[in-house]
Amino acid sequence: MPADWPIAFALILGLAVLFAVVIFFALRFGGRAQQKALAETNAETVWAAAPKDIPSRSGLLYGVWQVGWKDVVMVVRDDQDRAVGTITRRKLNTTIDSGGSVYRIVPQMTWRGGADLVPDSANGSGPTSAVCSFRLAGGFGHRVAQYTVPGHGVIEIPIRYDWPWKRSTTLLVKDGQPIGELFTIGGPVRSDGRAIVLPQEVPLPVRLFVLHLGAGGPARTR
C-alpha cells in the first residue's frame, strides 16, 4: 500500500464532505426562495407578466417549482388561485395528481421519443387507455410536438431553437389556429415555474400534462 494513501483518502473524504455541505445549503437556501415564490406568485402577477398573445386568462394554470432531495414537485393553481393539482417528477416515475386522481407519465420507446398519460393502476385494476399521447412529428425546419386527446383532437406546439437567455412564447395550435400559450414564470436567468392558457374544455389532467412536458425537450418553442 502506498505511503501517501492516508493523505489521499483524507483528501477524497474532505471533498465528499464539502460537496455534501454545499448541496445541503444550496437546497436549504433554494428551498427558501421556492417557498417565497410559492407564497408571492398568484394569477394576477402571472397574467401581468404574460406575453398576452391570448386575449383572456380564462383557462390559466400556473405551477411553481418545489425541489427536494428525491423529487421535483410543481404546485399548480388556476386563474382563481385555487390549488388544482401537483406534478411530481422523479427519475423513473413522474405522476400527475389532478383533483385526487393520479396519472402516470409513461415514456414510449420510439426513435423520436414520446409519452402517454395514463390513469394510475396501482390499485391493481390493470392496463388502462391513455387520456393523452405526446409525440414529436415533422422534419428539419418544421418540427411539432403533438398532443392527441381522444374526443378533443390534436393540440400542436411548433418547435424552434432559440437563444437560451430568451423567454419565447409557446403558442398552442389546433386545426391551424392558436388556442393557447405556454410561458415561463420568472426572469431570463431564473425559472420559478411555468404557466399555460388552454380552453377549460380540454380535460384538466391533459392541461397539466402539457404544462409539464411543453415541447418535450430542451428546444425552445415558438
What confidence score (pLDDT) does residue 217 get?
A: 57
Q: Do 48 and 125 reside in the same domain of the chain?
A: yes
Q: Do 77 and 175 reside in the same domain of the chain?
A: yes
Neighbours of 208 (CB within 10 A): 25
> What total of structural domains would you count in the chain?
2
Q: Do 31 and 46 reside in the same domain of the chain?
A: no
What confidence score (pLDDT) does residue 21 get?
A: 46
Statement: residue 188 has pLDDT above 90: no
Statement: residue 123 has pLDDT above 60: no
What confidence score (pLDDT) does residue 41 get?
A: 87
Residues of the chain above pLDDT 90, percent:
35
What confidence score (pLDDT) does residue 195 get?
A: 93
Q: Do 130 and 170 reside in the same domain of the chain?
A: yes
When the pLDDT of each residue in the chain is averaged and rounded to a whole number, the result is: 78
Q: Do 27 and 46 reside in the same domain of the chain?
A: no
Q: Do 80 and 61 reside in the same domain of the chain?
A: yes
Q: Do 116 and 18 reside in the same domain of the chain?
A: no
pLDDT tens-digit readout, 193-222: 899 999 999 999 999 999 999 987 544 433
Q: Do 89 and 61 reside in the same domain of the chain?
A: yes
pTM summary value: 0.78
Say if residues 106 and 114 touch (Cβ distance below 8 Å). Answer: no
Within a domain: residue 149? yes
Say if residues 178 and 190 touch (Cβ distance below 8 Å). Answer: no
What nine digits make up the cell of 176? Answer: 391551424
Q: Which domain holds residue 21?
A: 1-40
Q: Do 100 and 201 reside in the same domain of the chain?
A: yes
Within a domain: residue 221? no
CA atoms within 13 A on the CB side of 118: 15
Read off the DSSP letter of residue 90. -
Enclosing H/E stretch for 26: helix 5-40
Could you tell me the pLDDT band of residue 116, with boundaries at 50, 70 and 90? very high
**Number of helices (H) and strands (E), helices first, in the chain?**
3, 12
Q: Do 75 and 164 reside in the same domain of the chain?
A: yes
Residues of the chain above pLDDT 70, percent:
66
**Which residues, 6+ apart, have CB-to-CB distance to 113 below 8 Å?**
107, 136, 216, 217
What confidence score (pLDDT) does residue 51 get?
A: 75
Rounded to an integer, the average pLDDT of 90-114 is 86
Within a domain: residue 220? no
Q: Do 90 and 30 reside in the same domain of the chain?
A: no
Within a domain: residue 219? no
Q: Do 25 and 132 reside in the same domain of the chain?
A: no
**Which residues, 6+ apart, have CB-to-CB distance to 16 below 8 Å?**
none
What confidence score (pLDDT) does residue 80 get?
A: 93
Give the C-alpha separation, 218 to 102, whole Å. 26
Phi-psi region of 99 (alpha: psi -120 to 50; beta: other; left: phi over 0): left
What confidence score (pLDDT) does residue 15 get?
A: 61
